[in-house]
Amino acid sequence: MKTALATVSISGTLREKMEAASKAGFQGIEIFENDLTQYSGSPSEVGKMAKDLGLEIIALQPFRDMEGNPRDIQKKRIEMLKRKMQVAHELGTNRLLMCSNVQAYASSDRDLCAADLRHLADIAAGEGLVLGYEALAWGKHIADYEDAWDLVKRTDHPNLGINLDTFHMFSRGNTLDCLRDEISVDKIALVQVADAPVMPRTDYLTYSRHSRCFPGQGDMPVVEFVQILKDKGFDDYLSHEIFNDEFRSSDPVAKAIDGMRSLIWLDDQTTPKHDIAVDNIEESASIKEVEFIEFAVEGDTGDELVKTLSQLGFAETHKHRSKNVSLMRQGEINLILNKEPKSQAHEYFQKHGVSVCALGFATDSVKHTLAVAEHYKAERFENQAGPGELNIPAIRGIGDSLVYFVNRDAGYRFFDVDFKPIDGVQGEQGVGLKRIDHIGQTVANVDFLSTGFFYKSLFGFDIQPSQDLPDIHGLVVSRTATNKDKSIRIPINMTNARSASAERFLTQTRGSGVQQIAFACDDIFTAAKNMGQEKVLAIPNNYYRDIEARFDLSEELIAKLKAHNILFDRNDQGEFFHFYTEQMHGVFFEVVQRVADYDNYGEANAFVRLAAQAEAEQDKA
C-alpha cells in the first residue's frame, strides 16, 4: 500500500509540514483546508511544491454538512463545493472528502440525503473528481460507518465512495463485519488510519480532537482493519489523519518519521513474514539485556556521581585503552564514565550536563538488530573507534541519547577489547548488587507515545498500559516497555504538571533522558548496611506506620525497614523491597529486591518517594 499524511497531523506551516512528510518518506499528502487557507501562496504553488517534494496531493479535506440540509442551506453548500472543486484542480488532486452532517437541522431522511449526495456526485463527475463520504462519530444521523455505507449504496454513483476512518469506526465500538462482508474495494474513496487509547465513549468530539495517535500507539484494532483491507485486495493509500495536541506542538520532522514508522509497522503486522523487507523480523525481540549504561561527565563534575556509585559498591575496574573513559562494575552491571573531549558524550554533556548519554543493549545479532532498526527509520550514529578497538554500532535513541548494540555471543565482553583492567581492583562483589533491574526514562509529554512505540517497533518490546503516579505537584503518567523475558524494563514517565518531578528533571537536564536506574540484589538489608545511609533518600515515619497496619508487618521487620529507609510492597505474586538515593544532576538510583514472582515496581509507594524527593530538593536549595 501507499503512504500518506494529512497536514493536520503535525505542526508547522504548510511548507514545513509538506517538507517533513517528504523527508519522512511519505508518498502522498492530504491538504487540510485550514492549512491551505492560512498559506500565503496559491493552490497552484502548493501543487508545484508537492510535486517538487515528490508528494502526490491525494485529497483536499474536510467538507462538512453536505447532505440533508434545508433547501436554502443546501443550495449554498452546493455553490461552496463548486468553488472548492476549482481549488482541487489547482492543487492537482482529484479527491474531496466530506463528513456526515452534525447540524441539529439535518434531516434523517436517507432518501433525501442520498439524492443530495447524488447531485454532488454528478457535479464531481463533470469535473473529473471523486467524493469520499465519511461518518463522523458525532454525526447527527450518520455516525457509524455502516450507516455511511448504506447512504453510499443508496446514492449509487461511480463518483461517490466511502471514506473509512478507523478512529470514527472504533471509537463507537463498530465491528468490522460490514467492511469484511459488504464494502467492495472499488467503493473505498480513501482510508485514514488512526489509533487512540480506550476511553469512555461520551464526548466523541473532544475524544477525537485531542486523543488520536499513530497506529500501534493506542488500543484500537487497527491491525485487524488493515488485514481485512489487504485480504480484499486494497492497495491504495493508507493515510494518517491525527488530531493530537502534543503532535501539533512537536517537531514536524520527528513526528512525521513517527508516522512513517507506524505505517511500516502496520504493514509488517499484516504481511506474511517471508515477504517483509527484513528477514525474520520477529526476531527483533532478540535484545537480551542492558550491557552498559554510559554517563557523560567532564572534569570533576562527576565527583558526586562517582562518590554515590562508590557507596553503592561500584569500583572503577577498567580504563579505556585510548580514550578518557573509565568503567565501574559490580556483579553484571557495567557503568561507563565518558570524559573524552572529542565524543558524542562530550556534546551531550555540553547540552545536558552530567547525565546518561547512552544505553548499550546486548543482542544475539547486531547485524539483524541494526537492519530492523533502520527498517523502522532509526537514524544510525557513526562511532569513531581507534585501531584494534570495537566499532560498536549505535542508533539515535530517546532525546539526544544513543543506543549501542553489542553482540553477547562473541565470546568476549566489550571491556575485554576496549579497556584495560586496573591492577588490584576487584569490583564484582561490591555491596551485593547483581544486575540492572530497570531504567526509568523521563520524556516530554509530546514524546510519551513515540518513546513507547520506539521500543515496541524497533525491539519488539511489550508496552504496558499507562498508570498515574500522584506527585505532590500533580500527576506523573507512567508506562513500561519490557523485552519478552523482562530482563530489560524501561518505565517511561511524563507529566503535564509544571512543577512535578518529571518536569523538574526535564528543566534541569534540558531534555528527555534517564532519570532513574534501579539495581537488583538478593539481600537488600545487607546491601543497605554495607553502603551506609549518607546518600539514601529519607522516608517519613508515617509511611512505616501505614504499611505496618496495611500489611500486618512485625515490629522487627518495621524496625529494619525504618533503619535503612527501605520501602515495602506485597501482592499475590510476592514481595518487593526497595530504597532510593537522593538525586544528583537530576538522576537517582534505586536498589530493589524481588521476592518470589513479584513483577511490579512498588508503584503504591511512588507518592511517598516523590514527596520525599521534593522535600530533599527543597532542603538542598
- Which residue ranges are tagged as binding site? 134, 165, 192, 241
Question: Cα separations (Å) of 394 from 189, 370, 374?
Answer: 42, 8, 11
**What gap in Å lies between CA 215 and CA 225, rounded to an integer?**
11
Instruction: Give the residue numbers of the binding site for a divalent metal cation.
Output: 134, 165, 192, 241
**What gap in Å lies between CA 444 and CA 51, rounded to an integer?**
35
Could you say which DSSP state residue 587 is in?
B
Could you say which DSSP state residue 499 is in?
T
Report the sign of the C-alpha dihedral through residues 83, 89, 91, 97, in that order: positive
**What gap in Å lies between CA 507 and CA 517, rounded to an integer?**
19
Interaxial angle between packed helices 145-155 and 110-127, expressed in degrees from 0 to 180 and rounded to the nearest 10: 70
Of 73, 88, 165, the closest CA to residue 124 belongs to 88
Which amino acid would we find at residue 511?
Answer: G
Measured in whole angstroms, how far is the alpha carbon of residue 479 from the centre of its chain?
A: 10
Of 519, 520, 457, 464, the closest CA to residue 492 belongs to 464
C-alpha cell at 218: 493506542
C-alpha cell at 511: 531534555
> To which H or E segment does residue 421 belong?
strand 419-421
**What gap in Å lies between CA 156 and CA 430, rounded to an integer?**
77
Give 418's contacts (C-beta < 8 A, 6+ positions apart).
320, 321, 389, 390
What is the chain's alpha carbon radius of gyration, rounded to the nearest angstrom? Answer: 28
**What gap in Å lies between CA 412 and CA 224, rounded to an integer?**
44
Give 545's contacts (C-beta < 8 A, 6+ positions apart).
none
C-alpha cell at 554: 512485625
Asked whether the beta carbons of 158 and 126 are under 8 A apart, the reply is: no
**Neighbouring C-alpha atoms within 13 Å toward the C-beta of 471:** 23
